[in-house]
Amino acid sequence: MIPRIGVVTGGGDCPGLNAVIRAVAKAAHRRGWKAIGILGGYQGLLPTQQTKVLEGDLLDGLLVRGGTILGTANQGKFSAKTGHGESRRLPVELLDETKRGCEELGLIGLVSIGGDGSLSIAQQMFEHGIPVVGVPKTIDNDLAATMMTFGFDSAVACATDAIDRLHSTAESHRRVMVLEVMGRYAGWIAVYAGLAGGADVILIPEIPFNFESICNKVGERELAGKHFTIVVVAEGAKAAGADYVTSAEQSQNREARLGGIGAQVAEEIHKRTWKETRCIVLGHLQRGGSPTNMDRALCTIFGAKAVELIAEKQFGQMVSFTGSQITSVPLSQATGELRRVPLDGGFVTAARSLGICLGD
């Protein structure tokens, strides 16, 4: 019988998911294995399974195609996070059922492509005897134990392009333009795109901000004859002493939906400086479209490595990029604690030495 491996995508979509699926399927075929795509996230593993054999024409064009041909979910029975990132254990019966589903499919291994939430479920599955390996996905780049997740570079490219475009209106209309970017509780997208796009103010969750500091920067630029200011604010940034700003009612077994801080920052800047100010929320544009070259390469390497891990029976591991090599780490190390922007790291230091305001 031909060995079969499963591939599942979980959590929010992100550029590069299809590129990983393609790499996993191709590397599996080269070994004489069959790759089975699980549809609709982990839910598709439950008996009566929803699957699709990954072969032939189905793999055409996947390297550059956004989204996931398998579908995904970040809510429902398999959600592992609630509130502001609190972990949740899945009921044992659900894990039993999932294990039975994998056995019925005859899987020798399962590649779980996901972020913090989906990979913490993968860890629980592994503890329950399911032979799973992980591939780190998320535009937020907040997974511990890997220097980079795929999707992040594409999101930064999108946010940087937005900053470049906002410069025109900011300068022509002498306005303050506030761009709200995603990233959940980590400021990676804001800090990378802010540096790449030449933002004047970058607000990240790791550094609580105060409005005086932001408005002083706007004033300083006015005095220097620069009558516009670009502010990049991460959705998880918060004013000192304030709480996260959320854009929707909290629903059960789901993480809070962040959003709205950009509008608050814009309003307060306008009130305090009388400068015309606009807020732009970049939202899901950051998760859409074709992956960048960097992401395409990373996804291909990650997918191939995941298949290698299954061949070596190194279950419970996640593929990881150290900056110089591709290796693997226990899933337990990669989940649980988020990787946030270090305050003494190169990004924050560079921003400060260029006089970029970080809101403190």
- 234: β partners: 181
CB of 311 to ligand F6P, least distance (A): 30
> Which range of residues in 36-44, 96-104, 180-188, 326-334 is near ligand F6P by CB under 6 A?
180-188
Query: What angle in degrees, to the nearest 10, is found between the helix axes of 261-273 and 211-223?
Result: 50
The reply on whether position 139 binds ligand F6P by CB under 6 A is yes
- Rank residues 109 and 236 by Cβ distance to ligand F6P and give the closer one: 236
CB 113, min distance to ligand F6P, A? 13
Nearest-CB residue for ligand F6P: 182
Asked if 71 is part of the footprint of ligand F6P (rule: CB under 6 A), the reply reads no
Tokens of 208: 């609580």
Q: With left for phi above 0 and alpha for psi between -120 and 50, is residue 315 left, alpha or beta?
A: beta
Q: Is 237 within 8 Å of 254 (Cβ atoms)? A: no
Q: Give me the residue label for tokens 């990049």.
A: 232
- HSE-CB at 85 with a 13 A cutoff on CA atoms is 16
Q: Does the annotation mark 161 as catalytic? A: no
Which residue type sits at 91? P
Q: CB 314 → ligand F6P: shortest distance, Å?
A: 27
Least Å from the CB of residue 279 to ligand F6P: 17
- Contact call for residues 35 and 25 (beta carbons, < 8 A): yes
Stretch that binds ligand F6P, among 20-28, 129-137, 177-185, 298-306 (CB under 6 A): 177-185
Identify the CA nearest to 165 among candidates 174, 153, 177: 177
134 interacts with ligand F6P by CB under 6 A: no
- Residues 249-278 within binding reach of ligand F6P (CB under 6 A): 257-258
Strands 86-87 and 81-82, bridge-based pairing:
antiparallel
State how far the Cα of 144 lies from the Cα of 246, in Å rounded to an integer.
Answer: 24
State the Cα–Cα distance between residues 13 and 6, nearest whole angstrom. Answer: 18
Select 85 or 219, whichever has its Cβ closest to ligand F6P.
Answer: 85
Q: Is 120 in the site for ligand F6P (CB under 6 A)?
A: no
Cβ atoms of 115 and 72 closer than 8 Å: no
Can you tell me which of 62, 140, 204, 357 binds ligand F6P, judged by CB under 6 A?
Answer: 140
Burial 260-272 (b: 16+ CB within 10 A, else e): bbbbbbbebbbeb
Nearer to ligand F6P by Cβ, of 12 and 359: the residue is 12
| Binding range to ligand F6P, per CB under 6 A, among 29-37, 134-142, 167-175, 296-304 | 134-142
Report if residue 182 touches ligand F6P, rule: CB under 6 A.
yes
Q: Which of residues 228-247 bind ligand F6P (CB under 6 A)?
A: 235
Least Cβ distance, residue 235 to ligand F6P (angstroms): 6
Least distance in angstroms from the C-beta of 87 to ligand F6P: 15
Candidate list 34, 81, 175, 287; residue touching ligand F6P; CB under 6 A: 287
At residue 296, the 3 state secondary structure works out as helix
Number of residues near ligand F6P (by CB under 6 A): 13
Helices 152-173 and 293-311 cross at an angle (nearest 10°) of: 160
Active-site residue among 13, 140, 142, 200? 140
Q: Does 119 engage in binding with ligand F6P (CB under 6 A)?
A: no
Contact (Cβ atoms closer than 8 angstroms) between residue 10 and residue 112: yes
Least gap, CB of 237 to ligand F6P (angstroms): 12
Q: Are 190 and 202 in contact (CB under 8 A)?
A: yes
Per CB under 6 A, the list member of 109, 183, 194, 205 interacting with ligand F6P is 183
Active site residues: 140
Chain residues in the site for ligand F6P (CB under 6 A): 12, 74, 115, 138-140, 182-184, 235, 257-258, 287
